[in-house]
Amino acid sequence: MWQKIYDELKDQDFIVIAVAMDSEIEAARPWIEVAAPDYLALIDRDHRVAELYNMVNVPQAVWIDEAGTIARPAENAGAYEGFRAMDLETWTMPDDELATTVKAQATYIEAVADWVREGASCDHLFDADKARAHTAVPDEEIAQAHCHFHLGQYLLRHGRAAEAEKHLAEASRLHPTSWNIWRQAAKKNETGLAASAEFWARVEALGDDHYYPPVDMAGMPK
Amino acid sequence: MTVILSPLGEFEAPAGAAEGLWLDADQAAAASGWELRPEGLCRGDVCVPVPPGKAETFVADGKVNLAAFWRHMGMPAATSADGDVWALGEGADNRATELRSLKAPDFTLPDLAGVEHSLSDYRGKKTLLATWASW
């Protein structure tokens, strides 16, 4: 997803750090080997980055400037939820939804490129007040959820699956809006996706809420 | 053996006999960054006194019940059924303050080859931190 702009811009003091929210390195490995990125591809078994940046889904992204300051806080990295209109029999999406999905991702990637090229004059940059206003912060239940998730992941790695399951379920109960926590622990289908009937029911239950919240950026779908 | 998963990493300590997470003061400091001092449990300038009348729940024989302090401070903690693994998390207020400061929280994670990288290694570059997952 990021290789093309990284190729174009890597000489301009720019790095992409792609972090896999995957409890098993071996689940992430084939994807990384196929993508063969030149940029950094890290594995986050305990979803530590999600905890630190209060993220709830993938893909999410943060723009961090040269001084280590957050220029755009954690946000949906240009994903559009056209998949919600998918025909589950044929596994196809209506053309307009597909077109919007493709355009949204391209718009987001181009915005990142614009930031790297233009720096402070990039129209997509937030000032500090706006960045703060867009920063979602965790509450006590979310903090407690990450604790149970961390413990659950440790127990899973140490052959204590039944006990782990309780802590992962508790994490999801305490932080129900985290798709990261729910999907990591959810049953996977034959292609490794947490896209069971239960997943679709959960998406359906969102109603008018978003699976991928709109990005506050010119040219992005609402 | 007791395992402690904290914001500072993964630590091991001898199993305690009593309920809670009883550690020697130096182990508690290593695992949490909080030191036992006469005035209470302290990190930098901040000290949390032992609650009056409950000393035996928090401190005994040079040991400190880190889990009791953690919860007393309103910070998240979770433990396995037989108390041999503890996860101690950063408090929501501290996380919120850090995020609102707009200073990007640092982290260290491995790549596929097991080599560890920190966000702070890339200071001086514009960084796109982007998540994905196989699921």
> In this structure, is residue A132 part of a structural domain?
no
B14 part of contact set with chain A, CB < 8 Å: no
Report chain B residues whose CB lies below 8 A from the CB of A128: 102
Between strands B2-6 and B85-88, the pairing is parallel
pLDDT at position A67 over 80: yes
Taking the C-alpha atoms of residue B103 and residue A131, their distance in angstroms, rounded to an integer, is 11
Query: Which of A28, A64, A151 lies closest to B5 in CB terms?
Result: A151
Residue of higher predicted confidence among A209 and A194: A209
Region B99-123: what's the mean pLDDT?
97
Residue A46 · residue A150 · CB < 8 Å: yes
- Segment 74-113 of chain A within 8 Å of chain B by CB: 77, 112
Q: Write down the pLDDT at residue A173.
A: 98
Mean pLDDT of A126-138: 97
Residue-level pLDDT at A52: 98
User: Chain A window 142-161: which residues touch B at a Cβ cutoff of 8 Å?
Assistant: 142-144, 146-148, 150-151, 154-155, 160
pLDDT surpassing 80 at residue B17 = no
Residue A180 lies in a domain: yes
Number of domains in chain A: 1
pLDDT of residue A42: 98
Rounded distance between C-alpha atoms, residue B87 and residue A147, angstroms: 6
Q: Flag whether pLDDT at A11 surpasses 80.
A: yes
Please confirm whether the linkage preceding B49 is cis (ω < 30° from 0): no
Cβ contacts of A132 on chain B, cutoff 8 Å:
100, 102
Match 């996380």 to its residue by tokens: B95
The pLDDT of A180-193, averaged and rounded, is 90
Q: Provide the domain limits for residue A173.
A: 140-193
A115-148 in b/e form (b: 16+ CB < 10 A) is: bbeeeeebebbbeeeebbeebbbbeeebbbbbbb
CA distance B45 to chain A (A): 24
Q: Which residue of B has its CA nearest to A21?
A: B133
